[in-house]
A and B are shown apart, each in its own frame.
Chain A
């Protein structure tokens, strides 16, 4: 029998390939499980904050958005002035896909009283990287069926790729390991999700036109879903476009459309893009897109003033 197999080269190749697959499967399974365990036992860092936002937060005011949200909205100030528990779910490099997934995870557990969604000036821009970055949600595919439809937007093969246990944690190895250490808590501290930036931007204010961008219909669709889900769950939603250190002579087409959709759904849309009380102070900015710690405090207070004024206006 063994000689017969040895003589049949095709069978030998198949046996060797099967053996290789078995080894790879075993290693993948073991390493993947270890990574999963370590991933969900983190106590600090970006990845931990996603888990916290999706699975643990119970705050009544949640801030959603990308890096602009994460670095510009101080939950402590919202708590002190509005007397409402707050958490910042913003994460660097994410788009409306990520934010909607977090919202779905939150709404599955409870309905917060208020949500502030930060709207980036290129929010609807067609960008393949936005789909690639959905990978940040891959570790949650297994236990969160509510976000699977969003993850599947990454590619049609995602379900097959997820047969690998390591794949959801691709390129996260060292971040996960560091996230399990004590020193990471102090390394880049967050304050209820808010990560302040310390840099100061030392540039003159430029002026110019924002380029016309091709828009992504999927992003627009998900943005509408975000609004509808908030309305259906009786969550008070505010959409905010935070300041940009550039004197724009036109409004980006994403912002025009985002504002239009918000108004159609009776949602307040506040545009601080060219707010001179902020853009006239370079010391408030860390870079062109982000406010620093000082700027975030000023902006958070200014936003709360605006929200309170609007609340008063809305009252009969």
Chain B
């Protein structure tokens, strides 16, 4: 059951009604049962993996918390990390490592083939594995005590709005909420429903619609000219943003309706004026996780190398981020590119800041606009290796064609496709622009007039019915 399935539209309202009918003390237990049902409904066999990760996390966090010996604490943490990562490695990276090893050995004329695994990647494994690891490290660092109630830990790692595609939440934020009073809150209910509605619009109308064009181009790179590939390259970040951003918003909205606050995952990334600004706005839950548990410890360890220590930490963090996104050489190239962009910014940061301050550029619209466009272009071109192309060779061919193949016109299936896609992107950008630069003004969802609010809701629902791509689209981030 995914958020965009018809079953979810039945499941969620039912859960909400029962959830609020039940006495408060029963609510978290009901959420745990609902989450279990939600995950089992996708593929029952993979629920066993989730259960194993929950058990490992519960047992080892209790062991870490229960001992005073730093050595034993560290040993427990290492075993915990290895056991938690094992299913992820097995399902996601085994084939990749196997192939890489085989190819490496073959260069030395050694043939040692191991069987390939053809099982599907369990949905959400990258997300709940990182949530589990984060919790264990937090307990190890004594940020929070180990939770004694197994059910609460199980709920944290299997909470149905988050289990499939995040946001990658943290135990210090979620555990107290599950243990506290889960009460009905009218403001949160309305806010949650608004986010769900906007999330569906982003996913069904924008992402799926743009995705149809982008997939048609990137699945047939050889057949398309440079102009079409350039347009698809520009559109791909919008597709990914509307896809994961929309899905995250539905997840955050569902939790909010139940009175649970979940961290923001995107913050209008296309208005970022630099790559470092961009990564503070894009997939925030993943980047903040990597910052806290990978980048910061690395930067601390490499502090003797001064600025170059930061560069090394950035490169390692983003290569890992690439690997998290997919077990493919393309994602390593993608991660390396992000690392290089951010390293260049880190190395030139002081001079850039002085220059900007000298000419008061932050107050100039044209400067901010140019920076946003440049940042968008950098990210869009890096995304050729971040999921758009299926291989590094295809990625380089795409770039080559963009700069050399000027034959023919931009491909499109029919004028209707251009009109609908343009309308959907325009609505998204107008709403984001307003939220970025005119916060609190011309609000539709937050308007004081009930009529304006209700007509806005109705407009979005009708738009989804009218121009949403309601089936056939697969959620891109499930592969991560």
Contacts and interface: CB of A to CB of B under 8 A. Distances in A.
Interface in A17-46: 19-20, 23-24, 27-28, 31
Contact of A173 (B20, B414, B461, B467): B467
A-B residue pairs, 8 tightest by C-beta: A174-B416, A132-B472, A166-B465, A157-B6, A23-B458, A132-B471, A175-B416, A24-B458
B313 to A, nearest CB: 44
Interface in B452-480: 454-455, 457-458, 461-462, 465-472
Q: State the main secondary structure of chain B at its contact with A.
A: helix
Given A167-B465, A173-B420, A20 B6 contact: no
Contacts of A31: 462, 466
23 contacts: A10-B20, A10-B184, A12-B186, A19-B454, A20-B454, A23-B454, A23-B458, A24-B458, A27-B458, A28-B462, A155-B471, A164-B465, A166-B465, A166-B466, A167-B470, A170-B467, A170-B468, A170-B470, A171-B420, A173-B467, A174-B416, A175-B416, A178-B416
Interface string B290-327: 00000000000000000000000000000000000000
Contacts of A170: 465-468, 470
B461 A24 contact: yes
A171 B186 contact: no
A128 interface: yes
A204 to B, nearest CB: 14
A94 interface: no
B471 A135 contact: yes
B415 A178 contact: yes
B354 interface: no
Interface string A79-94: 0000000000000000
Contacts of B414: 175
Contacts of A178: 415-416
Given A10-B184, A19-B454, 15 more contacts: A20-B454, A20-B457, A23-B454, A24-B461, A24-B462, A27-B458, A28-B465, A31-B466, A129-B472, A157-B6, A161-B6, A166-B466, A167-B470, A170-B465, A173-B416
A23 B189 CA distance: 20
A20 B20 CA distance: 21
Q: State the main secondary structure of chain A at its contact with B.
A: helix
B419 interface: yes
A304 interface: no
A13 interface: yes
Nearest to A173: B466
A166 B462 contact: yes
B454 A9 contact: no
Interface of A: 9-10, 12-13, 19-20, 23-24, 27-28, 31, 128-129, 132, 135, 155, 157, 160-161, 164, 166-167, 169-171, 173-175, 178
Contacts of B471: 132, 135, 155
B6 A13 contact: no
Contacts of A171: 420, 466-469
Interface string B13-45: 000000010000000000000000000000000
A24 B455 CA distance: 9
Contacts, number: 64
Contacts of B461: 24
* Interface-central residue, B419, B454, B466, B468, by most chain A CB under 10 Å: B466
Contacts of B458: 20, 23-24, 27
A115 to B, nearest CB: 29
A164 B415 CA distance: 26
A20 B461 CA distance: 10
Given A132-B472, A173-B467, A27 B462 contact: yes
Contacts of A10: 20, 184
A27 to B, nearest CB: 5
Contacts of A9: 184, 186
A178 B472 CA distance: 25
Nearest to B468: A170
Contacts of B465: 28, 164, 166-167, 170
A211 to B, nearest CB: 16
A254 to B, nearest CB: 21
B190 to A, nearest CB: 9
Nearest to A133: B472
A178 B462 CA distance: 21
A24 B454 CA distance: 9
B464 to A, nearest CB: 9
A253 to B, nearest CB: 21
Nearest to B189: A13
A23 B466 contact: no
A196 B26 CA distance: 66
Contacts of B189: 13
Contacts of B454: 19-20, 23
Nearest to B472: A132
Given A9-B184, A20-B458, A174 B470 contact: no
A170 B462 CA distance: 10
A314 to B, nearest CB: 43
A27 B467 CA distance: 15
Contacts of A23: 454-455, 457-458
Nearest to A154: B471
